[in-house]
Every structure is written in C-alpha cells, then in structure tokens.
Structure 1
Amino acid sequence: MTRVVYTDPAWAVDGRGALDPALATIERAALGDGVDLGLGVRRDGRFLLDGPEFERHVAGADALVVYRARVTARLLDAVGPSCRVVARQGVGLDNLNAELLRARGLWGFHVPDYCGDEVSTHTLALALALERGVCVQDRLVRDGAWNIHAGRIPRRTAGLTAGVVGFGRIGRATSRKLHACYGRVLAYDPYVPADLMASHGVTSCASTAELFAASDVVVLHPELTAKTTRLVDRDVLRAARPGALLVNTARGGLVDLPAVLDALRDGRLGGFASDVFSPEDPNDDEVGRALLRRADVIVTAHRAFLSAESEASLRRRVADGVAHVLRDDAPRPAASPTRVC
C-alpha cells in the first residue's frame, strides 16, 4: 500500500487539540482509497518534529509532506528509499532543502501563490494596528483605563511613506493595499526591475538601508535564503527613519531580534509587529519574551496565510501534486504547484 506521511498538519487537529483522521477529507479525495495516510505525532499539544518516535512515523513513506518540519539528511534517511516526493505545505522554501532533494534524486514542490490576499491583508492590518494603537487601547479599556492618549499617538498615514522589502507576488499585493492608506510606497528587491515597480506605482530603492531611511513603515516579504538571513540587522536599523514601524509577515530569520529590541528601547523603531519568529514561538526565546512584554509590539501566531479558502486550496493543491508524482513519477507540468527540483 502507498504511504503518504504529513509531518505536522495543523488542519488535522480538532478543537480539543487531538489528531482527527476524519478531517483529512480533501486529502483522501485527492489521493484515493488505496493510500495509508499518516498525520503526524503530537505530544503535549505540539507536533513532534524529531526524535525516535517521529522517525518511526515517517519511515517507509512514498511521499512526505512538511509544514514547519525541516527537511534534513537525517529525516530523509529515516524515511528511507521508498520516498519519491517531498512537498512543502506552504509558500517558503527555507525548510524544504531543495539542494538536498536534488542530490537525493527526489521530486520536491511548494505552493507559492495560494495566500497572497490573506498575507497582504494581514500585513496591512498589523501596520494599521501599530499606527492607531489598537492593541494597546484594547487592553487598557478592558482593564478599566479609559484614556484616548494612552499608547502611541497616531500619525496621519496619508502623509507617510511605506516601504516594501521583497516585491514578489505578496509584496506586490501588499503594495496595492498600502496605496489606499499611505501617501507613497517604495520597494527594494534586487531581482525586480524598477520599471516593473513603477507599473505598480512604486518607487525602487537601491538598498534596504536606503528604503529604511526613507520609510515611515517597512513591511517584509522576501524569501528566507542565505543572503536574506538577518537582512534587518543593526546596520540597517541604524539607517531607519526615527520612529519607523517594522512589520514582518514573511520569515522570522529575516530579522535580528536582539537588534530590533534595542532599536525599540532607544526609540529608533516606534513599533514592531510580527507574525513569524525564530524559534517559531517567541515564548521559547529570551529575546522573544522581552518583546512580548512591550506595548509597542504586536504579535500573531504565524497565521497571516490563514483563511478557510486558502487552507482548503493549499491542502487540495498539495494532495493533487503528490498524487500526480506517485501516479506519473513526475510533477505536474503546469506551474501550480511549483516544482523546485
């Protein structure tokens, strides 16, 4: 029997925090009846992503689907020679390890375009929540402290400049929404020509430092690669316009969190909002916990992608892509989902 293993499918967890195989309706429709479907191992409210029990779970899989789990040589060794394809249930490539898959002769793919509307909307929501002091006001009023001036004094956004780092699918979607609120939009992306940015009403910047120096709010949308790891570091933040806001809905590794914390403390940054952290939960990190104690920080639990529609689309496209490889020993020729090796 063909075995398809999902390492950490958040959609398979019921309201009590337990795995429920009955929730895999989309997957079973796409993969068919003759498939043994593995839906991860959970302990203490979390998926196991390493260790002997996890390795036993993935062993013998013909196809592996990862979400937050990282593709490593050890993981592929644990799966064994039966594996033919590894899919990433998400946008980014940082944990898919395309070079390793290529070296092992395995197919791999991800789905880079299923949640552009959701992520761009979430990005704008975080930026405006910082601008208007929404979360601070919410907490204070609930605690009986009615004070219209508490928290950050809002700015008139129509006179401000927004900067977008990374001008791919999601960066472009976000820029369209930023135009509705901000007077000017800039972008930095070394792989996108200035002419294309201009067609979106966006002005190109030559570097991240130039963009930070000219922007009142900066939103991050690049992929996480060796070149973009800690892209926002102390040097870039020193160039920032005083009081600028920073919003990250891309990858936690793009940001040097200790540098962000220091920039908030000295006023270089006026606020920080993030949907993503490294480690995944900021409560697991000393710097993350320090950020969570600050009123000028807003966080969400890596859910910028989430809607009922985006989740169903992602699940269907991943399952369809896996089924295609298992049937034809090759990914779909179309660009959806996108083959990476």
Structure 2
Amino acid sequence: MTARIVTYTDPPWLIEDGKFDSGLATVEREVLGADVDLRFGPHAEGRYQITSPQMFEQVSGSEILVVYRRQVTAELLDAAGPRLRGVVRQGVGIDNLNVPLLTERGLFGYHVPDYCVDEVTAHTASLALALERRLIPQHQTLKGGTFDIYAGGAPYRISRRTLGIVGFGRIGRAVAAKLGAFYGEVLVYDPHVGRDLAEGYRAKAVDTLQELLSRSHAVVLHCPLDEVTERLIGADELRCMRPDAYLLNTARGKLVDPVALGTALNEGWIAGAGIDVFHPENPHDDPEWKPVLEHPGTVVTSHRAFLSEDAEGSSRRRVAELVRDRLAHRVPTVGLLSEEAART
C-alpha cells in the first residue's frame, strides 16, 4: 500500500532554541497515526527554507500540504504533483493560502479561524491600555532611576474616549466585548456586516472608515488582508485621525503603510501606535519601519498576539484532525474556504 504523504512546509513548533527537532511532532503523529508519512520542509540554522528548490523536492507526492508562512503558489502545487488534494493553513489569516488558485485547481483549502480569539483580544487590549495609561515611558523612567508620575504625560480618562473597531468578525466582536468595557463609546466599521450586529455588542456601526477614524481615540484593525484592504491605512487615513488617538494593528502588517505611519507619528498627526504585525515579518528587514520602531509613542511586539501554549496546542491538534478527516474523505465545515472542492 502506498503511504499517505502529508507535508508540513514550515511548522514553527519544530524549532526550539534555534534547532529543528522532528521529535516534537507528537500531536501530529498521535492524531495521524503510523500509516501517514509525515514530512517537514527543508531547514537550516533554525530557519525554514520556504522558497528553496529543496522545498519543491520535499513536497513531491504529498496528498495534503500544511503551510504556515509559506505562500501557496502554482509552482508549489505543481511540485506536489497529481496526488495533492488540498492545503491547510496553520493559522487564522488566509492571505498566503491563495484560495482562488486552490479553487481553480479543484483543491480544498482550510484554515483555523478561531483558535486564538482569546489571545489576540487580550493582546490588543494590552497594547491599547499600555498606550492609554502611558505604561512604557513610566516603566523606562522608573527603571532608569527616576521617580516621576508625569513621565510620558498625564493619561486621559478612558471612559470618556471612543474605541473604533475596523472589521467586525470573530476577533472584532470579542474586542468590542472585552476592550470596549473600558471605553465610553465603541464604533464599528465593516461593510460586510449589517449595522444591527454592532448594537448587539453595545457598539454603533458607522458608514465610512473616515467617520470612524475621525471620531475614535483608539483605532484597532481586525479586518482580513485582501486586494481592498492592503495599505488600508495610509497618509490620507492617518490625517483623518485625532492628534490624541492611537492606532493598533494585531491583524496583518500590510494593512498599514509604514512610511505614512512613521510620518504621522513624527509630525504629531496621531499620539502613538501599538503594532504586533509587520511586512516583512521582521520589521528590521525593511528600513521603512525604523521611524515606527524608534518612536517613543509606540509599543511593538514580534507578531505574538496569537501566542499561548493553549492556543498553539489547539491549533496543532485541530489542523492534524482536519488532515486526518480529509484523508478519510470526511468534509469538516469549520475553516473550509474553497467550497467547490468540498465534494471531491
């Protein structure tokens, strides 16, 4: 009997202390069993070689691919060969899954849309409250040897301020419930949902992004990345914001123009920013992010809003179960993206 090949192109949980260890794939082997030939993408010095020729060799013969950061391309699918049935994204975002291509090829596509809602909302709230309460300058000043209650300036009373949420999907709604409790008003902009939904979360829908930006003191981005939302926040949008407002992004790095954000911070168009996501992934790889990273009014983290031991464990198990079910010709519906292929 020919082995069922499943290839994980770049699973981050197999890299520990800068070293790759396939023995850490305990959950995947438990769920998939001994009948599955479990493979992993090429790696060197603690990094996956996601664009290397060796990647194409490694995926050859795969029945299912599991991707993390690796972009799904025609070349990757061709390299996998005729046995390929579909691709699973180990994460929430789908911008690298290339759903139109999978649909065109008759392949199924999945992601895990809700495994880290608690983590992302808590992280978003942490960034917002750190900015509102000026925690970073307080921390740095006191650690530096000076006791000064006014370091960073006097904060505003949050209950008199307005929270604006761009994108009202699973995470946006959870942010309204969690972080919205601190603010006096919550505004929502999402052209894909009806205005009544926002009222169910004690929020108010607005008709335009500009209205939300001009009225909000803290703007949080929770919309998906696509052709419409790429560089959604640029110079024109930042100029719409209040000078005492903060911009927060824990969604996708490409939603924000880094040059415009750096200018907005340095020229005082906005008061500060909390950023967890960048493009490229490491902002130090692109000098356009340098003014943002160095500005005293920013709080930045290394794309970890989704991270917790519980969330990572849930994601790994759920992905493995999706793969197991599709190998058994079962069709789970949670996370299904390319519906045309669901019948195959």
Give the drift of 1:339.
Answer: 3.8
Deviation per CA, 1:258-311: give whole Å up to 9, x if none. 111111011111111111111111111111122211111111111111112211
For structure 1, list consecutive stretches of 5 or more residues without a partner in the other structure: none
Other structure's SS at 1:36 match: strand
**SS of alignment partner, residue 260 of structure 1:** helix
Q: Which residue number in structure 2 is paired with residue 81 of structure 1? A: 82
- The equivalences for 1:60-139 within 5 A come to 60-139=61-140
Q: Give TM-score, length-normalised by structure 2.
A: 0.94
Is residue 12–residue 39 contact of structure 1 (8 Å, CA) maintained in 2?
no
Cα distance in 2 for partners of 1:69, 1:142 equals 40
For 2:336, the aligned partner's letter is: T
Q: CA RMSD in A?
A: 1.4
| Distance in 1 between residues matched to 2:195 and 2:282, nearest whole Å | 36
Q: Secondary structure at the match of 2:88?
A: strand
- CA–CA distance in structure 2, aligned partners of residues 108 and 146 of structure 1: 55
| Contact 2:168-2:193 at 8 Å conserved across structures | yes
CA contact under 8 A between 2:62 and 2:81: conserved in structure 1? yes
Shift of 1:211: 0.1
Contact 1:331 1:339 in 2 (8 A): no
**Contact in 1 for aligned 2:19/2:45 (Cα 8 Å):** no
One-letter identity of the residue aligned with 1:3: I
Tell me which residue corresponds to 1:297.
298
Percent identity between the aligned chains? 48
Partner of 1:8: 10
Report what 1:240 is aligned to: 241
C-alpha displacement of 1:144:
2.6
- Residue of structure 1 in register with 2:287 after alignment: 286
What SS does the aligned partner of 1:338 have?
coil
2:85 touches 2:107 (CA, 8 Å); kept in 1? Answer: yes
- The structural deviation recorded for 1:57 is 2.2
Match of 2:39 in 1: 38
Other-structure match for 2:342: none
* 1:338 correspondence with 2:339: no
**Residue pair 1:7, 1:69 contacting (<8 A) in 2 also:** yes
After TM superposition, list the pairs within 5 Å mapping 1:188-207 onto structure 2. 188-207=189-208
In the TM superposition, what is the alpha-carbon distance from 1:152 to its structure 2 partner?
A: 4.3
Q: Distance in 1 between matches of 2:290 and 2:54?
A: 30
Maintained 8 Å contact 1:19/1:39: no
Quick one: distance in 1 between partners of 2:60 and 2:137? 48
Rounded Cα–Cα distance in structure 2 between residues aligned with 1:260 and 1:240: 12
| 1:179 counterpart SS class | helix
- Matched residues in 1 for 2:246 and 2:209: separation? 14
| CA separation of 1:290 and 1:46: change in aligned 2, threshold 3 A | farther
